[in-house]
Amino acid sequence: MKNYTIPRILFLGLAILLQIALIVGMVIKFYQYFTYFYAVNIFISSLVVLWIVNDESNPAYKIAWIIPIMLVPIFGGLFYILIGKSSLSKKIVSKMHKIEEKTKEVLIDNQKKNAMLRSQDMDAAKISHYISNYAYYPLYYSNNTEYYRLGEEKFKRLKEELNKAESFIFMEYFIIEEGIMWNSILDILKEKASKGVDVRIIYDDIGCLGKLTKEYNKQLENMGIRCHVFNPVRPIISLAFNNRDHRKITVIDGKVGFTGGINLADEYINEIELHGHWKDTAILFDGEAVWSLTVMFLSLWEYLDSSAEDYEKYRYKNGIDEYKGGFIQPFSDNPLDKESVGETVYLNIINNAKDYVYITTPYLIIDNEMLTALCIAAKNGVDVRIITPHHGDKWYVHAVTRSYYKPLVNSGVKIYEYTPGFIHSKTYVSDDKFGIVGTINMDYRSLYLHFECGVWMYNTASIEDLKTDFVSTLEKCTEIEKSYLDNIKWYKTIGRSVLRLFAPLM
């Protein structure tokens, strides 16, 4: 953590503590009116519980709120009103929906491609149909895909492609931190910007809290790099910053696109060690499919910049669009609607698996639907394997992840922990034909609260690479045996159960 960022964190923490102290002070000052205060808040909490019960949110999220409200009704209802409801205002949602409608107009589905996929595999066609109709991102022929097993591999190729940029570079990341990785990339971006290349950066304020200065975006602007910060953190008691931009996107000239789990910080390329060896993955693809990544970036940029972008200026029109045996479909997920695109795409792969499903995820904090799907697939004879970290980056999240092992293992799901350190990749591969590489963790925040993205693939060359990487990674993992689960102390079981209950709020 850079020393110059500590004052900002301290200021935010002190500001929030001060507000809490003021609230407590007001309660003490007006203690003589406590009876009225208590009655009003009990009434508010009762109304809030009724509201939550009738809301369309995930049942696990409802339970995680209802229990603490019922336990502490005097403050529970007010606390939910303050931070529990959707943090996006109607004004923001309305503005984003207008931009979303614009993106639908430029993302036109290709019926020929859809028909070809249906003729080959109806299960694949159903998944693609869902993505097209509920995420609004179309299906493309797969030209070239390159899968990277480690951050070091992606870093090398990213620099190579950035050096080729002639027209524009769009980069959107949850985390950027000064160091070997980012500084060497920044050198390229500054050079390109000085030559007239349109260089734009979006980074998330929470992701970069403690890593960049408060006005780092202005430093980039002074270098000729256009920049926006997503959802800046403000020192008030509110989780208006609950919805984050967790995507990792690079688009170069509309020709080449990157995504995956890798942020722009040194732990992702193992230049520094935080939690042992850091394993993460990414994917590069070219051809028409890059257009979807371009639109993802521009739609968020248009919202942050309050500008009207001409998307067509950034479409690469000289590519060859021909069928080479596979399909690819980049997609985005966001918290603006009730549609959990990332989770549904994952569930579709699990439910359609005939032979195997191999999954890597840094967090395994799932709802009942996902838990049931994984268990049923294993009970039906599908080889379901999941790799999680051995060294967690957050102890409480790691404890919740491990709390899901027992029902999964007892149903036949094989769980492995990556012994050398922390695995941050988010990948699915199934039956030698389906694959996903993206930013979507198997936890509540990624599945319900964040802006995310991924790439769904069918019969691309990278499917084999995904499987090969998973199998080779298993050699560095420890399998979780039933005997290990049976020997967990009772008090640890209770602790994990409590954490699991409140996992939707983490």
Q: At what angle do helices 59-71 and 34-54 cross, to 10 degrees?
A: 170
∠ CA 54-450-430, rounded to 5°: 100
Q: Order across the sheet with 427-430: list the strands.
A: 140-141, 327-333, 452-458, 434-438, 427-430, 356-360, 383-389, 414-418, 477-479
Catalytic entry in 113, 228, 275, 426: 426
Catalytic entry in 211, 246, 279, 390: 246
Catalytic entry in 253, 367, 443, 469: 253
Say whether 156 is catalytic. no
Single-letter residue type at 267: E
Is the Cβ–Cβ distance between 271 and 181 less than 8 Å? yes
Say whether 248 is catalytic. yes
Say whether 426 is catalytic. yes
Catalytic entry in 275, 424, 433, 467: 424
Is the Cβ–Cβ distance between 408 and 375 less than 8 Å? yes
Helix (H) / strand (E) element for 285: namely strand 282-286
Is the Cβ–Cβ distance between 183 and 219 less than 8 Å? no
Is the Cβ–Cβ distance between 145 and 479 less than 8 Å? no
Q: Would strands 282-286 and 256-260 be described as parallel, antiparallel, or unpaired?
A: antiparallel
Q: What is the DSSP code (8-state) at residue 312?
A: G
Q: Which two tokens stand for residue 183?
A: 């500084």
Q: Order across the sheet with 249-252: list the strands.
A: 145-148, 282-286, 256-260, 249-252, 168-173, 198-204, 226-230
The SS3 assignment for 367 reads: coil
Compute and round to an integer the Cα radius of gyration of the chain.
23
- Extended strands (E) in 196-255: 198-204, 226-230, 249-252
Distance CA 491, CA 483 (A): 17
Catalytic entry in 333, 431, 465, 469: 431
Q: What does each C-alpha distance from 362 to 108, 134, 261, 359, 441 come to in angstroms?
A: 34, 26, 10, 10, 7
Say whether 424 is catalytic. yes
Q: What is the DSSP code (8-state) at residue 503?
A: G
Max Cα–Cα distance, the chain, nearest Å: 77
Single-letter residue type at 320: I
Beta bridge partners of 146: 284
Q: Is 35 left (phi over 0), alpha (psi -120 to 50) or beta?
A: alpha
∠ CA 257-261-263, rounded to 5°: 85
Q: What does each C-alpha distance from 361 to 273, 386, 422, 425, 427 come to in angstroms?
A: 19, 8, 10, 6, 7
Catalytic entry in 211, 228, 248, 390: 248
- The residues assigned a catalytic role are 246, 248, 253, 424, 426, 431
